[in-house]
Amino acid sequence: MPIVRVDKWSAGLSATGNRLIQGDNLRVLEALSTQYVDSVRCAYLDPPYNNGETYQHYFDNMGHAEWLHSVAERLRKIRTLLTADGSVWISIDDSEVHYLKVAADEIFGRDNFIGTIVWERRTSRENRRVLSRNHEYLLAYAKDLSKWERFRNPLPITPEVANRYRNPDADPRGPWQSVSANVQAGHATPQQFYALKAPNGRIHEVPKGRCWVYTKQKMMDEIAKGNVWFGVAGTSVPRLKRFLSERKTGLTPNTLWRADEVGTTSDAKKQLLAIFQEETLFDTPKPEALIHRILQISTNPGDLVLDPYLGSGTTTAVAHKMNRAYIGIEIGDHIKTHSSSRMRSVIAGESGGVSRLLSWSGGGGFDFYRLTVTD
The residues of the shown chain that bind ligand SAM, judged by CB under 6 A, are 24-25, 46, 48, 57-58, 282, 284-286, 309, 311-312, 314, 329-332
Which residue's Cβ lies closest to ligand SAM?
311
DSSP H or E segment with residue 87:
strand 82-92
- At its nearest, how many Å lie between ligand SAM and the CB of residue 283? 8
- At its nearest, how many Å lie between ligand SAM and the CB of residue 370? 12
| Cβ nearer to ligand SAM, comparing 24 with 30 | 24
Among the listed residues 352, 291, 357, the one whose alpha carbon sits nearest the alpha carbon of residue 326: 291
- At its nearest, how many Å lie between ligand SAM and the CB of residue 372? 13
Q: How far apart are CA 353 and CA 6, in angstroms?
A: 32
- At its nearest, how many Å lie between ligand SAM and the CB of residue 272? 8
| Cβ nearer to ligand SAM, comparing 85 with 136 | 136
Side-chain-side CA neighbours of residue 365 (13 Å): 11
| Cβ nearer to ligand SAM, comparing 42 with 196 | 42
- At its nearest, how many Å lie between ligand SAM and the CB of residue 360? 17
| Cβ nearer to ligand SAM, comparing 90 with 219 | 90
| Cβ nearer to ligand SAM, comparing 79 with 286 | 286
Among the listed residues 106, 120, 83, the one whose alpha carbon sits nearest the alpha carbon of residue 286: 120
Strands 135-142 and 113-120, by their bridges, are antiparallel
Q: What's the helix, strand, coil split of the chain in %, to 5?
A: 30, 25, 45
Q: How far apart are CA 119 and CA 259, in angstroms?
A: 7
Contacts (Cβ under 8 Å, ≥6 apart) of 355: 321, 349
Q: How far apart are CA 24 and CA 31, in angstroms?
A: 11
| Cβ nearer to ligand SAM, comparing 77 with 101 | 77
Contacts (Cβ under 8 Å, ≥6 apart) of 82: 38, 40, 41, 43, 88, 143
- At its nearest, how many Å lie between ligand SAM and the CB of residue 192? 54
